[in-house]
């Protein structure tokens, strides 16, 4: 029997930071298991590791007749409010800019088959999600991902989410310049940054290379960067037009221009200043108004801009703002094959059909981008490693996921296209129709989401099948329309920015509820999600395929030459649009048509009984609680190290846990304390020790002295006893930190 775990096997393959963060998370899990962590703190902690709740994890499930309790073991054990420890959950894996390598794909496929249901799901923000994951498996999963440079940190929770970037950046024919290295620098800079730990809500960034296309979707993001070149003193300078305060959800907002031009060296400090303003002034209590869009709307963009500019002036200098720029001139992707042309090869009609929709000719002659059209954004582990091999053979590391839930292979040498197509087809990934009406986007919906009302994926699958069957006969005008579906008003499926969008809701007929979809028409994908669609009315879920047929047929009949779908909807107006769907709004009684009372792909009689509490808003817990929790985990790890007879490590961890606790306390007053132990101890001393704020009624300064003593001991050489003593002291110190925070907390001024 072996006791060697992934932690040991991969020790040399993970970066120290990632490895340590995962150990801390594992320690926090352990503490939660012992009931030593607050449930909300743990919930937010795991969310910030991408460990998300999933439908039925409150232990209830409606079976079509009644709501039943699911007999999980240890029902008293939880991993957050109303969330059972043993219930499987979802793991979101961050993929900045969608960039993936074949080696990463291999490992993703492996963790999917060992820890989830063997399906990788691409999300609408270029992430990857695995479902039905048990929380015990998450640390090892994270280690395996870390070994290929992937982190799940801040994939969920009130944090900076995945930084998206056009999947065509760098090869696009219309971009100003390649936004990729900037989006990467942004993602790296803000990941785990001190100034992004105290948000009231999530914060989603996006980068785009050009204004007119859609890929970056900057207009619907909390912060969006649009590449620009400006003449400054006769020289072209790179920079970005910066948007802020966009977002979908129940109340969609178009982003406002924060700055017409921010030069490249200023984009990171600007993001930091925005983060600070958001952390300080953003709503924390009312989660429905906590996104930055509400702050921008409340203050007005001018005032918001003024505050950001003020904030910028006070930021302590950080070399990382511009460090990445040295690498920019060398940033380039390497094709793995020389450029060639598609001349003379025999082409099947199937290939031609695929070529028409799934191949984009790059700016670089002789190369193309191939879109692997994934049904509902899903692929199996086996398909994933087979795709990794195809990528190795044709494009090397040039693989990205897209916000339309597909994967692209970039830098395909043109003459390789026919063979590549055959190889994709052989693994079931050769579907044509990428970016067309059959390539439907859908959020997880009632399949796995705790907030899902109607089955967005069930509907998307049905529409895909029906539209694919007749795609050859579809008129050109409707072939390129986009359909996007969300399972509820939260709009994770981005229905606001599609030609024909749907979001799930429910209506009553007699004594029964019937799954419905609200119809949203005329949203704009182009112009970076340039405008949002009109809600025209709700129709029963089971009528949606007919509704789509009816709307598209009317459009084809009535459109004037060259009239886009948006223009047509704009012309006929909301009232007439509603008239089109009116015939579908009559609801049959249950006895007349029971089919209407169940959802696509789910024969259970429809109910809303399974809706749980979503975790999208994370838990609002204080910055202090979030920062002290890793200290506790480290003290715990120190005990483990001592049990393993490693006093040096135990001592180092105990000391580090005291520093973390002191830092958390100092940061309640002074956010910019930084990471240097000397600075932390000095600030702790002057602010809390010398002022006696830290003093205990009876023990006086004893607990604080533990840190001061250990810090001044440059060469501890601990034996088991000494390490044991330090661990005890660390635990007392952490306790005292809690006590001090609750004594002083709330009355302190935050300096910036």
Partner 1 sequence: MIAPHRLSIKFFFDDFSVDVESFIPVFHRWIREDVVPNELLLDVADYKHIVDGPAILLVGHEADYVIDLTDGKPGLLYVRKRDVGSDLSSALGTTLSQALNGAKLTENDVELKGKLKLRTDGAAIVLLDRLNYPNAANGDGADSPAVAAQAQLSENLAAVFGDDATVTRVANHAREPLTFKLHAPSAPDVDTLLNRLGSGD
Residue among 614, 604, 613 nearest 515 (CA): 604
List all residues 6 or more positions away from 678 whose beta carbon is below 8 Å from its beta carbon: 711
Given partner 1, ligand SF4, ligand HEM, none, residue 486, with its beta carbon under 5 to 8 Å by kind, binds ligand SF4
Instruction: Please tell me whether residue 490 binds ligand HEM under the rule CB under 6 A.
Output: yes
Which residue has tokens 């999963």?
141
Given partner 1, ligand SF4, ligand HEM, none, residue 125, with its beta carbon under 5 to 8 Å by kind, binds ligand HEM
Q: Which of 142, 215, 248, 424 binds ligand HEM (CB under 6 A)?
A: 248
Q: To the nearest 5 percent, what fractions of the chain are helix, strand and coil?
A: 45, 20, 35
Cβ count near 83 (within 10 Å): 23
Smallest distance, partner 1 to C-beta of residue 73, A: 8
Instruction: Please tell me whether residue 374 binds ligand SF4 under the rule CB under 6 A.
Output: no
Instruction: Please tell me whether residue 420 binds ligand HEM under the rule CB under 6 A.
Output: no
Instruction: Please tell me whether residue 392 binds partner 1 under the rule CB under 8 A.
Output: no
Cβ–Cβ < 8 Å for 694, 701: yes
HSE-CB of 435 using CA atoms within 13 angstroms: 18
Cβ count near 656 (within 10 Å): 19
528 or 737: CB nearest ligand HEM:
528
Instruction: Please tell me whether residue 58 binds ligand HEM under the rule CB under 6 A.
Output: no
69 or 260: CB nearest partner 1:
69
Instruction: Please tell me whether residue 185 binds partner 1 under the rule CB under 8 A.
Output: no
Which residue has tokens 């009949």?
557
Q: Which of residues 575-614 bind ligand SF4 (CB under 6 A)?
A: 614
Residue among 376, 610, 613, 616 nearest 506 (CA): 610
Smallest distance, ligand SF4 to C-beta of residue 155, A: 14
Instruction: Please tell me whether residue 2 binds partner 1 under the rule CB under 8 A.
Output: yes
Instruction: Please tell me whether residue 90 binds ligand HEM under the rule CB under 6 A.
Output: yes
Residue among 466, 467, 459, 474 nearest 555 (CA): 474
Instruction: Please tell me whether residue 451 binds ligand SF4 under the rule CB under 6 A.
Output: yes
Could you give the CA distance from residue 555 to residue 501 in angstroms, rounded to a whole number? 15
Cβ–Cβ < 8 Å for 586, 594: no
Hey, is 33 helix, strand or coil? helix
Instruction: Please tell me whether residue 618 binds ligand SF4 under the rule CB under 6 A.
Output: no
Q: Which of 20, 40, 61, 702 binds partner 1 (CB under 8 A)?
A: 61
Instruction: Please tell me whether residue 117 binds partner 1 under the rule CB under 8 A.
Output: yes
Residue among 214, 403, 203, 227 nearest 291 (CA): 203
Cβ–Cβ < 8 Å for 430, 419: no
Q: Which of 28, 104, 123, 633 binds ligand HEM (CB under 6 A)?
A: 123
Task: Give just the sign of the alpha carbon dihedral 577, 579, 583, 589.
Answer: positive
Given ligand HEM, partner 1, ligand SF4, none, residue 458, with its beta carbon under 5 to 8 Å by kind, binds partner 1
Cβ–Cβ < 8 Å for 53, 612: yes
Instruction: Please tell me whether residue 153 binds ligand HEM under the rule CB under 6 A.
Output: no
Instruction: Please tell me whether residue 453 binds ligand HEM under the rule CB under 6 A.
Output: no
Cβ–Cβ < 8 Å for 709, 658: no
Instruction: Please tell me whether residue 4 binds partner 1 under the rule CB under 8 A.
Output: yes
Q: Which of residues 507-526 bind ligand SF4 (CB under 6 A)?
A: none
Smallest distance, partner 1 to C-beta of residue 378, A: 6
Q: How far is CA 433 from CA 50, 297, 424, 466, 720, in A?
A: 32, 39, 14, 13, 66
List all residues 6 or more positions away from 597 whose beta carbon is below 8 Å from its beta carbon: 509, 512, 513, 514, 515, 590, 605, 606
Q: How far is CA 703 from CA 529, 639, 692, 744, in A?
A: 56, 19, 11, 17
Burial track 343-352 (b if 16+ CB lie within 10 A, e otherwise): eeeeeeeebe
Q: Which of residues 616-635 bind ligand HEM (CB under 6 A)?
A: 616-617
Instruction: Please tell me whether residue 71 binds partner 1 under the rule CB under 8 A.
Output: yes
Instruction: Please tell me whether residue 539 binds ligand SF4 under the rule CB under 6 A.
Output: no
Instruction: Please tell me whether residue 450 binds partner 1 under the rule CB under 8 A.
Output: no
125 or 711: CB nearest ligand SF4:
125
5 or 510: CB nearest partner 1:
5
Q: How far is CA 343 from CA 347, 414, 415, 416, 504, in A?
A: 10, 9, 7, 11, 48
Cβ–Cβ < 8 Å for 695, 704: yes
Would you give the binding string for partner 1 spanning residues 362-391, x where CB under 8 A is met? -------------xx-xxx-xx-x------
Instruction: Please tell me whether residue 441 binds ligand SF4 under the rule CB under 6 A.
Output: no
Burial track 291-306 (b if 16+ CB lie within 10 A, e otherwise): bbbbbbbebeeeebbe
Smallest distance, ligand HEM to C-beta of residue 525, A: 12
Smallest distance, ligand SF4 to C-beta of residue 288, A: 13
Q: E strands within 47-199? A: 51-52, 60-62, 67-69, 78-80, 83-84, 89-93, 99-100, 119-122, 128-133, 164-165
Smallest distance, ligand SF4 to C-beta of residue 234, A: 49
Q: Which of residues 472-491 bind ligand SF4 (CB under 6 A)?
A: 486-488, 490-491
* Cα angle value 745/751/752 (rounded, 5°): 135
Could you give the CA distance from residue 195 to residue 667 in angstroms, rounded to a whole number? 11
Q: Which of residues 588-617 bind ligand HEM (CB under 6 A)?
A: 614-617
List all residues 6 or more positions away from 214 whose beta carbon is below 8 Å from its beta carbon: 525, 526, 527, 528, 529
Instruction: Please tell me whether residue 53 binds ligand SF4 under the rule CB under 6 A.
Output: no
Q: Which of residues 400-429 bind partner 1 (CB under 8 A)?
A: 427-429
How many residues form the binding site for ligand HEM (CB under 6 A)?
26
How many residues form the binding site for partner 1 (CB under 8 A)?
49
Given ligand SF4, ligand HEM, partner 1, none, residue 46, with its beta carbon under 5 to 8 Å by kind, binds none
Instruction: Please tell me whether residue 402 binds ligand HEM under the rule CB under 6 A.
Output: no
What does the binding site for partner 1 look like in residue numbers (CB under 8 A)?
A: 1-2, 4-6, 9, 55-56, 61, 63-65, 70-72, 86, 88, 106, 109-110, 113-114, 117-119, 131-132, 134, 375-376, 378-380, 382-383, 385, 427-429, 447, 457-458, 461, 464-465, 601-604
Residues that bind ligand HEM in the complex, under the rule CB under 6 A = 52, 90, 92, 123-125, 127, 129, 161-162, 204, 248-249, 443-444, 449-451, 490-492, 494, 614-617
Binding site for ligand SF4 (CB under 6 A): 443-445, 449, 451-452, 456, 486-488, 490-493, 614
């Amino acid at each position: 029997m072996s006791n060697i775990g992934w932690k040991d096997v991969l020790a040399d393959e993970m970066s120290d930071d990632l490895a340590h963060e995962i150990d801390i998370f594992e320690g926090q899990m352990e503490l939660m298991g012992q009931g030593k962590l607050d449930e909300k703190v743990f919930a937010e902690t795991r969310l910030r590791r991408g460990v998300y709740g999933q439908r039925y994890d409150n232990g209830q499930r409606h079976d079509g007749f009644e709501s039943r309790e699911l007999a999980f073991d240890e029902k008293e054990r939880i991993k957050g409010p109303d969330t059972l420890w043993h219930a499987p959950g979802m793991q979101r894996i961050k993929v900045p800019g969608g960039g993936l390598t074949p080696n990463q794909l291999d490992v993703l496929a492996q963790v999917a088959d060992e820890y989830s249901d063997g399906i990788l799901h691409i999300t609408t923000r270029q992430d990857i999600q695995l479902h039905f994951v048990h929380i015990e498996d998450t640390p090892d999963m994270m280690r395996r991902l870390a070994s290929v440079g992937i982190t799940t940190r801040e994939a969920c929770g009130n944090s900076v989410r995945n930084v998206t970037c056009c999947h065509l950046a760098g090869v696009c024919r219309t971009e100003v310049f390649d936004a990729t290295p900037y989006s990467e620098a942004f993602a790296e800079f803000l990941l785990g940054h001190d100034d992004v730990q105290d948000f009231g809500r999530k914060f989603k960034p996006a980068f785009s290379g050009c204004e007119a296309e859609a890929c970056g979707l900057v207009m619907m993001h909390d912060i969006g960067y649009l590449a620009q070149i400006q003449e400054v003193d006769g020289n072209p300078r790179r920079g970005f037009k910066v948007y802020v305060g966009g977002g979908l959800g129940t109340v969609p907002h178009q982003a406002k221009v924060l700055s017409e031009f921010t030069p490249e060296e200023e984009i990171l400090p600007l993001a930091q200043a925005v983060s600070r303003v958001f952390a300080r002034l953003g709503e924390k209590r009312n989660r429905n108004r906590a996104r930055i869009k509400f702050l921008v709307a409340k203050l007005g963009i001018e005032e918001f801009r003024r505050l950001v500019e003020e904030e910028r002036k006070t930021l302590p200098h950080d070399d990382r703002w511009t460090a990445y720029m040295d690498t920019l001139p060398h940033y380039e992707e390497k094709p793995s094959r020389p450029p060639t042309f598609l001349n003379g090869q025999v082409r099947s009609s199937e290939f031609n059909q695929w070529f028409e929709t799934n191949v984009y000719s790059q700016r670089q002659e002789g190369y193309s981008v191939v879109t692997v059209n994934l049904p509902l954004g899903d692929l199996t582990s086996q398909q994933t490693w087979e795709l990794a091999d195809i990528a190795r053979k044709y494009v090397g590391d040039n693989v990205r996921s897209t916000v339309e839930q597909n994967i692209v292979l970039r830098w395909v040498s043109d003459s390789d296209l026919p063979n590549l197509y055959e190889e994709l087809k052989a693994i079931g990934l050769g579907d044509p129709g990428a970016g067309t009406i059959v390539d439907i986007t859908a959020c997880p919906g009632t399949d796995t989401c705790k907030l899902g009302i109607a089955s967005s994926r069930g509907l998307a699958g049905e529409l895909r099948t029906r539209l694919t069957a007749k795609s050859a006969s579809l008129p050109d005008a409707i072939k390129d329309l986009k359909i996007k579906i969300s399972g509820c008003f939260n709009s994770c499926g981005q229905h606001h920015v599609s030609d024909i969008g749907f979001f799930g809701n429910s209506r009553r007929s007699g004594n029964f509820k019937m799954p419905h979809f609200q119809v949203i028409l005329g949203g704009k994908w182009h112009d970076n999600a340039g405008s949002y669609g009109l809600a025209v009315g709700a129709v029963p879920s089971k009528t949606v395929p007919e509704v789509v047929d009816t709307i598209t047929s009317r459009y084809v009949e009535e459109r004037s030459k060259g009239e886009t779908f948006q223009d047509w909807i704009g012309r006929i107006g909301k009232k007439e649009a509603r008239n089109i769907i009116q015939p579908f709004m009559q609801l049959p009684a249950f006895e007349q048509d029971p089919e209407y009372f169940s959802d696509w792909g789910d024969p259970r009689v429809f109910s809303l009984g399974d809706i749980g509490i979503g975790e999208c808003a994370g838990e609002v817990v204080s910055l202090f609680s979030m920062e002290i929790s890793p200290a506790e985990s480290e003290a715990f790890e120190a005990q483990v190290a001592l049990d393993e007879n490693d006093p040096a490590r135990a001592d180092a961890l105990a000391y580090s846990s005291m520093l973390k606790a002191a830092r958390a306390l100092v940061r309640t007053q002074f956010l910019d304390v930084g990471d240097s132990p000397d600075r932390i101890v000095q600030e702790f001393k002057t602010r809390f020790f010398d002022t006696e704020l830290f003093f205990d009624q009876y023990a006086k300064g004893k607990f604080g002295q533990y840190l001061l003593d250990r810090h001044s001991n440059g060469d501890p050489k601990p034996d088991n006893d000494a390490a044991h003593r330090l661990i005890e002291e660390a635990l007392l110190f952490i306790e005292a930190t809690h006590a001090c925070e609750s004594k002083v907390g709330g009355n302190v001024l935050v300096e910036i």
